[in-house]
Amino acid sequence: MTAREDFVARFGGVFEHSPFIAERAYDAGLLFVPLRADGVHQALVSIFRKASREERLGVLRAHPDLAGRLAIAGELTEESRNEQAGAGLDRLTPEEHARFTKLNDTYTQKFGFPFIIAVRGLNKADILAAFEERIHNSPEAEFETATAQVERIAALRLATLLPEG
């Protein structure tokens, strides 16, 4: 395996199902040894921000619904499963699940991508409150909020893979 293939295999999923970000960061020479979480994050975010709007929309759309169908079917990535479980989204009451489903459907219809929030450190009440607040955003404001959340999720994922600093 080449160094590039190794890097993409290790970090290609940091931005949900979007290995092109890791590929482009590697190809652009934006990485410095030793790899550190903040440095890799800066490189990946730089590529994400330079991506076309359609590519960034694709990254947003690659994220699963919170407590949605993929979670029920057990088809989340390991990272998403752990993040959602840490926020208690794997232990919803039927009423809470119905509320999440309704909000997910309404949000996706309005914005064209799933609701995205970095759930680490939040509980289901925090997430529902953010959901109910953000659903009233304009499409452009929500696109910006969702992309910022994707970048935060990437930072949190990298912090588990690499040393800080």
Q: What is the pLDDT of residues 142-155, one digit of tens each?
A: 999 999 999 999 99
pLDDT (mean) for 41-62:
96
Give residue 94's pLDDT.
83
Q: Is 63 a catalytic residue?
A: yes
pLDDT (mean) for 63-85:
60
CATH of 64-161, one of 3.40.50.2000, 3.40.50.1860, 1.10.3330.10, 1.10.3720.10: 1.10.3330.10
Within 10 angstroms of residue 70's Cβ, the number of other Cβ atoms is 17
Q: Cα separation of 118 and 153, whole Å?
A: 5
pLDDT grade, residue 116 (50/70/90)? very high
Alpha helices in 32-121 (DSSP H): 37-50, 53-62, 69-73, 78-86, 94-111
Give residue 86's pLDDT.
66
Average pLDDT, the chain: 87
Question: Which residue out of 41, 63, 97, 136 is catalytically annotated?
Answer: 63
Q: State yes or no: pLDDT of 92 exceeds 80.
A: no
Q: State yes or no: pLDDT of 76 exceeds 80.
A: no
More confident residue, 66 or 49: 49
User: Domain-by-domain residue ranges, the chain?
Assistant: 3-57, 64-161
Axis crossing angle, helix 139-161 with helix 94-111, rounded to the nearest 10: 120
Within 10 angstroms of residue 31's Cβ, the number of other Cβ atoms is 18
Of 65-74, 81-90, 142-151, the range with the lowest mean pLDDT is 65-74
